Amino acid sequence: MTTPLVDWLRAQDDDTLARLLRLRPDLAVPPPGDLTVLATRAAVRASVHRACDDLDTVTLAVLEALVVADADTAPAPRAEVARLLGPDVPAAVLDRALDALRARAIAWGDGDVSVVPAARDVVPRFPGGLGRAATGPAGSSALPELLAAVDDEERRVLDALAAGPPIGRSRAGSDPASPVGRLLARGLLLRVDAETVELPRQVGLALRGDRPLGSVAVTAPDIGARDRGAAVVDATAAGAALAVLRQVELLIAFWGRTPPPVLRSGGLGVRELRRAAKEMDVDEAVAALLVEIVVAADLVGESDGVAPDWVPTTAADVWTAGGPELRWSLLARTWLALPRLPGMVGRRDDAGRPITALSDGARRPLAPRDRRRVLAGLAELPPGTAPGSPERLADQLSWLAPRRGGRLRDETVTWTVAEATALGVVALDAISAPGRALLEDPDRIVAALRAVLPDPVDHVLLQADLTAVAPGPLEAGLARELDLMAEVESAGGATVYRFTEATVRRALDAGRSAADLHALLAHRSATPVPQGLTYLVDDVARRHGRLRGGAAAAFLRSDDEVLISEVLAHPDAVGLELRRIAPTVVVSPLPLVELLDALRRAGFSPAAEDPAGAVLDLVDRGRRTAPARRAPERGLPPEPDTAQLAALVARMRAGDALTAVRRGATGGRAGTLDVLRTAAERHLTVWLGFVDGHGVAGERVLQPTLVGGGVVEGRDAADGGLHRVPLHRITSIALVEE
């Protein structure tokens, strides 16, 4: 006898139902009212397709065998499924596959197994490469004799169709003397139309021998694991993490100075991407990745205006001020959840248009799922162990979930490994400790990265060529000071800074004095301060600030009258509209920033001052825009937690019980009073059907506490609230069995 899916579900325990909802979270949205609703949803075609995306090659082969056995119309014996799969599939492997199908409510039953009708839509058009079942000679006991009588030409036709697909085209079918014509006459082929024939299922199964569905790969392909060494992997990943932080800082500073325009079609122009790649000293693929991440992380956004630009947001300043662990955590988490494929940038879409960074062409809502899948495949290996190649990883992932990924499946694996390597999530093709924390426990990301980063150093090595070498990541305070008074010449395990006249003047413009710079260099250098660097600081400081600018619109003052006269006599001073109001003071209608910039271009070293005469920092930190809080992308339904699953199961069980109560509900005033009084005395729960004062039907589950005065009073079984229902409005009533 066929057991419906809903009855099979009712017979399962709560843990089994909770596991079903965890494996197929779409079934719980919105929460099903009872198990009948759950069973209906579990058989919906779209939901079955989604559930089968997680099945491996063996489980899909078992599902295909069940469809070949017509288990979608009547239960198929387990022995028949085993026969179809052949000797390549051991009994234990078959049992695991059937358990996986039952756990997802795609199949049910033990000795005889049924599958949901939608399973036929999941498997190929010709399940197992076999045709329709025949009812003529091919479906009779005479089939072995018919096959034994075929000649060589006829056998070649049958073998070609038996290998699949079972459909073939032949104009010779109309010729009774041809091999196809003879096979049609004996019922070993079926005619589809004038030129198309089909091999019956029974004939195909007979010709295939003891492997009716062909060979089944019961084990995943060898991944070719290689031990890279956990310490080496983590150290390499730490270096990549520090490098990517520096690259993002350079991108933010670059776009703060020269924001690129937003294309009218959306996205970033190819030329602007190349400029960003050159500024960060990375290739265009990495540049596209970082551009996508900074925009998704809200560190860069579109500015307001008729012609918007890509401009760093005020959130970028907060991010820059954080420690390396926090900054990297934001970038890594943003990448993992990025609903886009940066690897598609530079390709062409289906219409032949080039896909640019930040454009809609790279949007893929399921990219986070596929990205996690690749990292999970790497995380299955021991720490420090890498697959033989990304291609081998792709082969294994393809075996584990052959329906996932589509035409970009293998490329997505390659892109994910390359992107994760650029970020430090992966190093030497092995997942790093911070990468493992990102995937499995995001709360540990900061601690995991801190554990693999080298300890921050509090000193540099000053060189005679006006450079400083930082032998590791610098303390935050020292790094800020060096970024102010020097330029990064090369970054890596050891960062090289170069001091120039412009960088020293930048530090002085920011309010540092020559004494401050000398003290910093002497205190923070593990080597003696080169004489050339001392001279450079003193020389720039001697000339710096002799001119002092303030807001009038703007004024210049200096204790040196000759210097004021020199400024007025300079050829470039004509455009500054300077007017002398005292021997040591001149004023200008230009804004102070423009005036000081013009004087610097003319070779002077002015300093800005505030009303109290202190040096004023007017360093341009670039444009900023407000963060654009975008609505979160819609993805797959969130996975419910254990408590939610238990509540859902309890709700469905209660819904089933309530449905049964409704079927057995009674009416009548005398019967109503008897049931209510019994429930009040024994502290039982009742289901009431009633009509309110507006004539609208309703229902409520109550535990009666008082019956009398024409009303029943009780507490609601769901919310615990106290409710009263007039007795004359009750239309039906039943005890609820608990």
Mean pLDDT of 313-321: 90
459-463, 617-621, 699-703 — which is least confidently predicted? 617-621
Distance CA(15)–CA(385), nearest Å, equals 35
Q: How confident is the model at residue 94 (pLDDT cuts 50, 70, 90)?
A: very high
> Contact at 8 Å (CB) between 509 and 608?
yes
Tell me: the pLDDT tens digits for 288-307?
A: 999 999 999 999 999 887 88
Query: Coil, strand or helix: which one is 309?
Result: strand
Largest CA distance in the chain: 123
Mean pLDDT of 671-697: 80
**Tokens 């520090």 identify what position?**
242
Distance CA(209)–CA(198), nearest Å, equals 19
What fold is seen in the domain 664-736?
SH3 type barrels. (2.30.30)
Query: Coil, strand or helix: which one is 720?
Result: coil
Distance CA(66)–CA(73), nearest Å, equals 10
**Domain residue ranges in the chain:** 5-123, 137-208, 226-452, 461-526, 548-608, 664-736
pLDDT at position 632:
47
Q: Give the helix/strand (H/E) hosting 196.
A: strand 196-198
Distance CA(138)–CA(122), nearest Å, equals 27
- Kindly report the number of other CB atoms within 10 A of residue 575's CB atom: 10
> Contact at 8 Å (CB) between 375 and 420?
yes
Measured at the alpha carbon of residue 23, what is the angle toward residues 19 and 24, in degrees to the nearest 5?
115
Of 493 and 564, the structure prediction assigns the larger pLDDT to 564
- Contacts of 141 by beta carbon, 8 Å cutoff, 6+ apart: none
Task: Give me the chain's average pLDDT, please.
Answer: 86
Q: How much of the chain, in percent, has pLDDT values that exceed 70?
A: 93
Task: Report phi then psi at 298, rounded to 5.
Answer: 70, 25
Distance CA(179)–CA(167), nearest Å, equals 16
Query: Coil, strand or helix: which one is 528?
Result: coil
> What CATH code would you report for 5-123?
1.10.10
Query: Coil, strand or helix: which one is 189?
Result: coil
pLDDT at position 131:
80
DSSP-assigned letter for residue 21: H
pLDDT at position 719:
67
Two tokens, residue 261? 């325009």
Distance CA(737)–CA(730), nearest Å, equals 20
Distance CA(461)–CA(495), nearest Å, equals 10
Distance CA(243)–CA(275), nearest Å, equals 18
